[in-house]
Structures are given as structure tokens and as C-alpha cells.
Amino acid sequence: MEALINYLLQFGHLNQQQIDLVKSKGVLRELKKDEYYAEAGKTPREIAFLTEGIFRVCYYNKQGEEITKYFIDENNFVVDINSYNQNIPSSEYIHTITDCRMIIFSKEAMQELSMTIIGWDVIISKITAKGFAEKVNKISTMMAEDATERYLNFFTKFPKLANRIPLSYLASYLGITPSSLSRIRKNISS
């Protein structure tokens, strides 16, 4: 819980009473490696704060290939925010690629926090905006790089994670085939 509170405090002030209220609304949950926290077609009714482990968010394109959109690591919120906001089915899967621990806030809990804590909505919207902006920046930077640069930059961005992620997922995230990734790794090591 402490990691969550520290994270929230980066985006706005909360007094001790408010902090305790937030803590009281969060429910701990664990998932094993290779489980699905969320699935396409289902309407999300909660938000998760990931305290341990790595998620990957993926979908299937028209050719039926599974595409990894991005990875989510510790100390980040996880939800398909538009499906959540608009109460519509999500089109993406959220998949654990390691054992994960998270703190869950139901939609009802979020609404209570929103009504009780002045400034809560602002904190949440700042977090949402920052998370999205990071994704947009990362992905749009990737578009302008070749695959080798994308791979190397992934290491600097996720130094601890790069070796915990199956290469097939990483390849799809980098927009290349597993064989190409394998060749790139070979070239780099020499």
C-alpha cells in the first residue's frame, strides 16, 4: 500500500485521513504468471495498481496475430480506461508474464473516493494523462527508429524487465518477428 500512496502523493496532496480512506478501499489480489487480469469482450469494473510483477497488454489483429501493445511494470495503474469510463467491453487482454501482486479499486470504491476526497479526480486524471503521454511518446519514438535501436532502448527503459520477458512477446512489441529479433541480438553481442 505504501508504494501506492507515495505514487499518488506525486500528483496531489492527501491528508492522513484521506490516505487511510484510500487504503481502506484497496483490496489486495495476486495472480500467477500466465493468467489474464482482463480479457477482450469484458467490461472492466475496477482499476488495478500493480505493485509487483509485469503485465502485457495485447490484442489480436485482423490476421489473427497476437500483438503486444505495451508492457506495464511495478507502480503503475492498469485498466482500459475508456472501456472503464464508458462502460463498454474492452478490446484488449491484460496478461501476467510474471507472478503479480496488485491493489484493486472497484468502480464503487473509486466513486466513493471521488465524492469524499476533494481533488481526487484531478489526481486520477493527471495520472491517466501522464501514463498515456508516456505511452504515446514511447511508441511514437519507436516508429522513427529501426528495430535495433528499439531493442536497445527497450533495455534502457526496462533494464530489469528485459530478461524476464519472453522474446516472442518482445518481438511483437518491437514490431518485428522473433527471428529478426534473434538476429538483432546476435549482431549486438558481437
Helix (H) or strand (E) holding 22: helix 16-25
**Least separation in angstroms between CB 138 and DNA:** 17
Q: Where are the alpha helices (DSSP H) in 52-106?
A: 81-86
- The answer to the question of residue 179 lying near a second copy (CB under 8 A) is no
**Least separation in angstroms between CB 119 and DNA:** 44
- The answer to the question of residue 136 lying near a second copy (CB under 8 A) is yes
- The answer to the question of residue 190 lying near DNA (CB under 7 A) is no
- The answer to the question of residue 78 lying near DNA (CB under 7 A) is no
- Which one of 76, 128, 148, 180 is in contact with a second copy (CB under 8 A)? 128
Q: β-pairing, 27-31 with 100-106?
A: antiparallel
Q: Which residues contact 119 (CB under 8 A, 6 or more apart)?
A: 12, 13
- The answer to the question of residue 107 lying near a second copy (CB under 8 A) is no
Q: Which residues contact 186 (CB under 8 A, 6 or more apart)?
A: none
CA 112/CA 75 separation, integer angstroms = 22
81 touches which of a second copy, DNA, none (CB within 5 to 8 A by kind)? a second copy
3-class secondary structure per residue, 136-190: HHHHHHHHCCCHHHHHHHHHHHCCCCCCCCCHHHHHHHHCCCHHHHHHHHHHHHC
**Of 125-184, which residues contact DNA (CB under 7 A)?**
146-148, 166-168, 175-184
- The answer to the question of residue 139 lying near a second copy (CB under 8 A) is yes
Buried b or exposed e, range 105-118, using 16+ CB within 10 angstroms? beeebbebbeeebe
147 touches which of DNA, a second copy, none (CB within 5 to 8 A by kind)? DNA
Q: Identity (one letter) of the amino acid at 31?
A: L
186 touches which of DNA, a second copy, none (CB within 5 to 8 A by kind)? DNA
Residues that bind DNA (CB under 7 A): 146-148, 166-168, 175-186
Residues that bind a second copy (CB under 8 A): 61, 65, 67, 69-70, 81-82, 85, 121-122, 124-126, 128-130, 132-133, 135-136, 139-144, 172-175
